[in-house]
Structure 1
Amino acid sequence: MEKVIYSHEEAIEESLRYFQGDELAARVWVNKYAVKDSFGNIYEKSPEDMHWRLANEVARIESKYPNPLSAKELYDLFDHFKYIVPQGSPMTGIGNNYQVASLSNCFVIGVNGPADSYGAIIKVDEEQVQLMKRRGGVGHDLSHIRPKGSPVKNSALTSTGIVPFMERYSNSTREVAQDGRRGALMLSVSIKHPDSESFIDAKMTEGKVTGANVSVKLDDDFMRAAIENKTYTQQYPVNSANPTTVKDIDASALWKKIVHNAWKSAEPGVLFWDTIIRESVPDCYADLGYETVSTNPCGEIPLCPYDSCRLLAINLYSYVVNPFKENAYFDFELFEKHVVLAQRIMDDIIDLELEKIECILEKIKEDPETPDVKRTECELWEKIYKKSAQGRRTGVGITAEGDMLAALNLRYGTEEATDFSEKVHKVVAINAYKSSVTMAKERGAFGIYDSEREKNNPFINRLAEADPELYKDMKKYGRRNIACLTIAPTGTTSLMTQTTSGIEPVFLPVYTRRRKVNPNDAQVRIDFVDDSGDAFEEYIVFHHKFVTWMEANGYDPAKRYTHEEIDELVAKSPYYKATSNDVDWLMKVKMQGRIQKWVDHSISVTINLPNDVDEELVNHLYVEAWKSGCKGCTVYRDGSRSGVLLATKKSKKEEVPPCKPPTIVETRPKILEADVVRFQNNKEKWVAFVGILDGRPYEIFTGLQDDDEGILLPKSVTTGRIIKNVDEETGTKRYDFQFQNKRGYKTTIEGLSEKFNKEYWNYAKLISGVLRWRMPIEQVIKLVSSLQLDSENINTWKNGVERALKKYIQDGTEAAGKKCPNCGNETLVYQEGCLTCKTCGASRCG
């Protein structure tokens, strides 16, 4: 059956209905998750289509095994992101036959055996790129590279050390495109390595290693030495009984540098490596190829070389009955049932991934290059296939924990909330492992399962104590998956789960004018929007789940509230003092440590701090994280990345001559090539005609697409020409738009400048003027957004102009001063008109 192709406008319109008018969620879904082919054709009109795609494919795998789940049962779990949410790569790739890509979110690579040679370094570089082009995030460790100054048997005579290769791998990451986002990379090194200090300092040089996250692996001996002001021995090779390089260092001095750099630039992150290895279930099989060497870019999946993991999140908010009311409670019975099913679905996704890898290998086989060119890529996927099939590693996690706690009238960061969170994660661990044991009985255990190897593992022993019957069955039947659990950042997925709860947004009319506010916190967003009827009146728009709390606690939608009344209402809510900058940071670290005991992989968490905190607090939090049993920790101080990852500032001595300014063309050519940009605001169809000169916008005409006024523009028209005509007798100017239809006939829309509201035209002349004088596009957009306009229609027009121009910002341009709403870092760049975070990969369009 021929598949239906939907226009971008049709998909946006249908998705807007699905997301109850949330334009950001709709655009994120269409741009990132709807099935598309290489030509940009869209084959899904809303997440409903996507969820049926996922359900049908998982059901196909289920049918191979006993007691299969039906497609309808699976769809009901996925629908509206309510219960079970496959993350990123699985959501994009399952059932998508238009892309040859992996379903894995995370990979770690590394050469087996000695790897300190250019051959090994370049091989890892190629493997990294080959994985990133299939949409995977990659991590690898640099501890195998010789320290700077070590003798080498080539023309260099001595080694350059680790840092130049950090830049190499970073540049490779920045080169790889992934449908509107770049690849994601984690570089790690052992603190035991003599070059670890240089590694820690590498990103402090502005503009360096901007394509990678970096984390340092800290062992318990180093942490004790740092706290007790003792010396610590570094060596190379780091794990050798007979090292070639040995030096003693002041551990506390190096620790202070780690703390200072983290305070200043949010990197390096720290990995408490002995805790990771000690708690790791897969490391019980280290001698069989499962020795953990690094983590994925966000740090939640420690992996051995050539292993990978797929991610899935369970939406905790959906299990709260009577949310925000006095009789609210958590439905543990339904939750336990769904955790079992989530683990089962994750195991099915492994089978789907193995099919994808087979397709990748077939694609490589069919490529025209010679076998020696294709060898590394082919061997890479063969190794990943073997590890995936043998260990069957999964990544079941959670999302909306903060909203769950608030809906239960618990304030995040309190002792009571931490106790409840620990209970929830204990239930996840027990039931995910129960599910894995049941599947081992029905489908077979992972290939190398051996209960004897795992008998001293702390995590397994914790499970055995919590549920002796589970442990008894595990020893008898084995386990389907070598490891099961993680807590990953949910990124753009959280934007979609927040807007599909079935709760309409509420607009509260309030009286006095107040500055615009938009806290960067996913738990409660507040915006102030001008009322079109009264310039001195504003509306407060609340997060959907916060609105539920308001409705349960006396909010009257018919009443007008003063700001003081709103403040009083907010102060009573469980969200109050629960945003990222309000939480007791020490309690958050302790909470992470307590939850970590029930997560066999790791937890990705960033501690967000106000700008004015001192380095001693960062030191205290890192030490407490180690003592509490956390496997890793990252801090972000508000504004700490500003200027660190942006363009390099040079001293006057190093300054190069300024670049030649862009050519200014004062006299407009008679004919300009033009793009047609369509968009929708407030259910009205708008259109922009953007004249292009030398690849840059030169002028803009935009407004409502009004068929009655003669703008009869077929949907297929995306380009044309804007022609300037001058009446020689009167000197009157007229701008016409001309396009060519599919049969080659030209159609001209005369008097383009007269088709739109005159007020739009006057503002458009202003904007066109700054475009002609080559003001940077991002600055033009900033100018447009700062215009203080009186009516809602003009403000809507202004938003349309911003959207029309964003697509022309050069990919990679930093959005200086803007923070990522997902992770809080000031690492946003423009990518295909969208703001994309270089730290966490979240993307925001519109």
Structure 2
Amino acid sequence: MAEQVSLLTKKSSANKQKTTYSYEEAFEAAKAYFKGDELAANVWINKYALKDSQGLIYESNPDQMHHRLASELARIESKYPNSMSEDEIYDVLKDFKHIVPQGGPMTGIGNNLQISSLSNCFVIGSSGKADSYGGVMKIDEEQVQLMKRRGGVGHDLTHIRPKGSPVMNSALSSTGVVPFMERYSNSTREVAQDGRRGALMLTISIKHPDAEEFIDAKLDGTKVTGANVSIKMDDKFMQAVKDDTEYEQQFPVESDNPVYTKKINAKNLWNKIIHNAWKSAEPGILFWDKIVSEAIPDHYADYGFTTISTNPCGEIPLCPYDSCRLLALNLFGYVDDPFTKKATFNFEKFKVHAGIAQRIMDDIVDLEIEKIDRIIDKIESDPEADEVKSTELNLWLKIREKSIQGRRTGVGITAEGDMLAALGIQYGSKKGIEFSTKVHKSLAIEAYRSSVHMARDRGAFPIYETQREKDNPFINRIKNADPELYKEMEKYGRRNISMLTIAPTGTTSIMTQTTSGIEPVFMVSYKRRRKVNPNDKSSRIDFIDETGDSWEEYNVFHHNFLKWLELNDYNPDEVTKMNDDELKKIIAKSPYHKSTANNVDWVSKVNMQGEVQKWVDHSISVTVNVPNDVKEEIVSDIYLAGWESGCKGITVYR
């Protein structure tokens, strides 16, 4: 521990060793790093700066963090042939310009001051029949144990008996899924993760007889407030909606001899889903047959890799006790001469970095296994009785096994919207969709190439078999795009069972100062107010509040829109003070015109998601924004278009 801390010390102006920083010191240093961006500085300090369990801060700026990450990643690299040096790793991490580990990896790599996992997300579950109170409580405890280590959790409720089913206890009949939704939600709200509550996804099959109750559980806004909820749609139900025919629900859902069946009008249930989604943005929709048919891990179902649910944001479908860590390539960082007529996307650099990103993610799997071993050691050394510790211990042993067997990764992107704008391409246009697809195809091929080459140098994931995957649609797209790569895969195998995703990158994009994930810019500008002295003749008074205080309104701009302004000879300080009409005229001249979340055509957004999804082996977290006054029929059309376009899931927000 002392060695770890000593590596993170710096000399103060008084030439004395300093091991910790006050919040104020770290804030000022981080603000300088982010060129005055207070939001980015606060996010970095609160979520990613190195801290111990007492909250003491051991880093004052992200550059120190990037050196911490590079040092640990280089330590893992040194175990393998053709290793990258610490300097080489640091060069791709620095300034958040190219490769950006997300969440748990950024916080936890090299942090031996706390005992936590590096994984961003987990899915838990039980094998076989497990809807007894014992099974329910086991999942509840596992969920809490993961959340206290900073992980988001998903699990599926399809195995729980529907309401009214006979049970062998004093209740005589089952209460169905809704009370357990509330239990899991409450547990999530109780778990604090360094100032934030846990994150939970609950899913259920549309084929389950309690699907309608599940859909309605959050409608009044007072229940299940600690969980996201999504419905697993099968193709048979979606076709019944289109044809306006009956659909049969049953329990057990996957049984050839169900004990309970119920015929419903598919369109009526669909309309309820649409109404609820229109009203509250939930439930989310998961097109489950698409997810499973494309899921490479499901070819290893006999090893326990059957996909059953997703992480809280839906971009990583997982089997029970598997986990994933996330990393994003900052697409804006690969645009040379952005916002000029000479702007080009540097595919050569991007392809090299895509391979490096996959390599770093594989190194992070090794680091996560080390973290899990520390967690297991702590559990075993805790003074509680074995019967108290058994659920937590078995949980981490199962997660460790899946991490070793599959070595799953989550390489993704951020700044898609800024990349297109910097190239002068309208988001959602035909050209924009084609270019984005080209970028994601390149990422997929190079990530898979990297994984194959690591299999050659480090060994394939232990259960790899070429024949198991030969009919997988995603693997065959890789094969058709690069036959030589597929031949290498046949020869050497692959290091990672599945490796690509597109996650939401909320806090990450605040630090990269770009658009988030695959999304367009949310708003080019928005207004803030600052209090002014009414006697100051140089100030402008735009608003007087109920207490009589005077306020001046000013415009705040998206970071890269400011770059466009400067490159086009606008004075940002003057533009900040413009009225709405003047500002609209300038935005209309920019590449962000008609490319914000609220004015990208929803058809284009869905089509783009469907095309990009072909080159993402997990899933994509994306939201279709529609006007607040949109009719429910449009929401229905969006979901149907998502299914027909090959999306794996979709969420609509108005």
**Does the alignment reach a TM-score above 0.5?**
yes
Cα pair 2:124 2:143 within 8 Å, conserved: yes
Cα pair 1:19 1:499 within 8 Å, conserved: no
Structure 2 equivalent of residue 747 of structure 1: none
Structure 1 equivalent of residue 179 of structure 2: 164
Structure 2 equivalent of residue 177 of structure 1: 192
Measured after TM superposition, the shift of residue 436 of structure 1 is: 0.2
Structure 2 equivalent of residue 195 of structure 1: 210
Q: Tell me the secondary structure at the aligned position of residue 653 of structure 2.
A: strand
Measured after TM superposition, the shift of residue 558 of structure 1 is: 8.9
Post-superposition Cα deviations, 1:213-233, rounded to whole Å, max 9, x if no partner, equal 000000000000011011011
Structure 2 equivalent of residue 526 of structure 1: 526
Post-superposition Cα deviations, 1:6-61, rounded to whole Å, max 9, x if no partner, equal 11111001001101111111111111111111222110011111111000000000
Q: Where do residues 464-479 of structure 1 align in structure 2 (5 Å cutoff)?
A: 464-479=479-494
Measured after TM superposition, the shift of residue 366 of structure 1 is: 1.1
Structure 2 equivalent of residue 579 of structure 1: 596
Cα pair 1:138 1:297 within 8 Å, conserved: yes
Classify 1:311/1:386 alpha carbon distance in 2 versus 1 (closer, same or farther; 3 Å): same
Higher alpha-carbon deviation: 161-170 or 549-558: 549-558
Q: Where do residues 412-811 of structure 1 align in structure 2 (5 Å cutoff)?
A: 412-498=427-513, 522=522, 524-527=524-527, 533-535=538-540, 539-556=554-571, 563=579, 564-637=581-654
Cα pair 2:417 2:521 within 8 Å, conserved: no
Distance 1:11 1:243 in 2: 61
Measured after TM superposition, the shift of residue 556 of structure 1 is: 4.7
Structure with the higher helix share, 1 or 2: 2
Measured after TM superposition, the shift of residue 538 of structure 1 is: 6.3
Measured after TM superposition, the shift of residue 442 of structure 1 is: 0.2
Q: Where do residues 32-181 of structure 1 align in structure 2 (5 Å cutoff)?
A: 32-181=47-196
Structure 2 equivalent of residue 367 of structure 1: 382
Cα pair 1:523 1:575 within 8 Å, conserved: no
2:326 corresponds to which of 298, 308, 311: 311
Q: Tell me the secondary structure at the aligned position of residue 204 of structure 1.
A: coil
Classify 1:133/1:528 alpha carbon distance in 2 versus 1 (closer, same or farther; 3 Å): closer
Cα pair 1:403 1:523 within 8 Å, conserved: no
1:225 corresponds to which of 237, 240, 252: 240
Distance 2:68 2:590 in 1: 39
Amino acid at match of 2:623: T
Cα pair 1:147 1:160 within 8 Å, conserved: yes
1:357 aligns with 2:372: yes
Post-superposition Cα deviations, 1:452-485, rounded to whole Å, max 9, x if no partner, equal 0111000000110100011111111100000010
Amino acid at match of 1:255: W
Cα pair 1:22 1:499 within 8 Å, conserved: no
Distance 2:71 2:127 in 1: 39
Post-superposition Cα deviations, 1:81-134, rounded to whole Å, max 9, x if no partner, equal 110000001100001111110000010000111112111010000000000000
Distance 2:573 2:162 in 1: 70
Cα pair 1:281 1:457 within 8 Å, conserved: yes
Cα pair 1:361 1:378 within 8 Å, conserved: yes
Q: Tell me the secondary structure at the aligned position of residue 535 of structure 1.
A: coil
Count of aligned pairs = 618
Measured after TM superposition, the shift of residue 284 of structure 1 is: 1.0
Distance 2:578 2:447 in 1: 49
Cα pair 1:20 1:499 within 8 Å, conserved: no
Distance 2:637 2:293 in 1: 23
Distance 1:387 1:558 in 2: 54
Distance 2:410 2:55 in 1: 31
2:398 corresponds to which of 383, 404, 409: 383
Q: Tell me the secondary structure at the aligned position of residue 193 of structure 2.
A: coil
Structure 2 equivalent of residue 216 of structure 1: 231
Amino acid at match of 2:500: L
Q: Tell me the secondary structure at the aligned position of residue 313 of structure 1.
A: strand
Q: Tell me the secondary structure at the aligned position of residue 356 of structure 1.
A: helix
Amino acid at match of 1:594: E
**RMSD between superposed Cα atoms in Å:** 1.6
Q: Percent identity?
A: 66
Measured after TM superposition, the shift of residue 542 of structure 1 is: 2.5
Measured after TM superposition, the shift of residue 562 of structure 1 is: 5.5
2:295 corresponds to which of 272, 277, 280: 280
Classify 1:371/1:535 alpha carbon distance in 2 versus 1 (closer, same or farther; 3 Å): same
Q: Tell me the secondary structure at the aligned position of residue 461 of structure 1.
A: helix
Post-superposition Cα deviations, 1:549-573, rounded to whole Å, max 9, x if no partner, equal 1223232569788545433221111
Post-superposition Cα deviations, 1:749-789, rounded to whole Å, max 9, x if no partner, equal xxxxxxxxxxxxxxxxxxxxxxxxxxxxxxxxxxxxxxxxx
The structure whose Rg is larger is 1
Post-superposition Cα deviations, 1:280-323, rounded to whole Å, max 9, x if no partner, equal 11111112210000000000000000000000000000000110
Classify 1:108/1:565 alpha carbon distance in 2 versus 1 (closer, same or farther; 3 Å): same
1:25 corresponds to which of 30, 37, 40: 40
Distance 2:295 2:32 in 1: 45
Distance 1:91 1:61 in 2: 16
Distance 2:353 2:112 in 1: 29
Give the unaligned 5+ runs of structure 2: 10-18, 542-551
Post-superposition Cα deviations, 1:511-533, rounded to whole Å, max 9, x if no partner, equal xxxxxxxxx95452333556873
Classify 1:87/1:269 alpha carbon distance in 2 versus 1 (closer, same or farther; 3 Å): same
Post-superposition Cα deviations, 1:52-84, rounded to whole Å, max 9, x if no partner, equal 100000000000001111111111111111100
TM-score (norm 2): 0.92
Amino acid at match of 1:198: E
Distance 1:202 1:567 in 2: 42
Measured after TM superposition, the shift of residue 411 of structure 1 is: 1.1
Cα pair 2:500 2:616 within 8 Å, conserved: yes
Higher alpha-carbon deviation: 491-500 or 414-423: 491-500
Distance 2:100 2:400 in 1: 24
Cα pair 2:522 2:598 within 8 Å, conserved: no
Greater relative CO (CA pairs within 8 A, separation 6+): 2
Distance 1:273 1:145 in 2: 18
Give the unaligned 5+ runs of structure 1: 501-519, 638-846
Amino acid at match of 1:616: E
Distance 1:37 1:162 in 2: 40
Distance 1:556 1:167 in 2: 53
Amino acid at match of 2:653: Y
Q: Tell me the secondary structure at the aligned position of residue 607 of structure 1.
A: strand
Distance 1:260 1:553 in 2: 45
Cα pair 1:25 1:499 within 8 Å, conserved: no
Distance 1:619 1:604 in 2: 19
TM-score (norm 1): 0.72
Cα pair 1:402 1:523 within 8 Å, conserved: no
Q: Tell me the secondary structure at the aligned position of residue 397 of structure 1.
A: strand
Distance 1:209 1:438 in 2: 45
Higher alpha-carbon deviation: 565-574 or 175-184: 565-574
Distance 1:151 1:383 in 2: 32
Cα pair 2:562 2:572 within 8 Å, conserved: no
Structure 1 equivalent of residue 12 of structure 2: none
Q: Where do residues 240-251 of structure 1 align in structure 2 (5 Å cutoff)?
A: 240-251=255-266
Distance 2:499 2:294 in 1: 13
Distance 1:443 1:499 in 2: 35
Distance 1:96 1:225 in 2: 52
Q: Tell me the secondary structure at the aligned position of residue 186 of structure 1.
A: strand
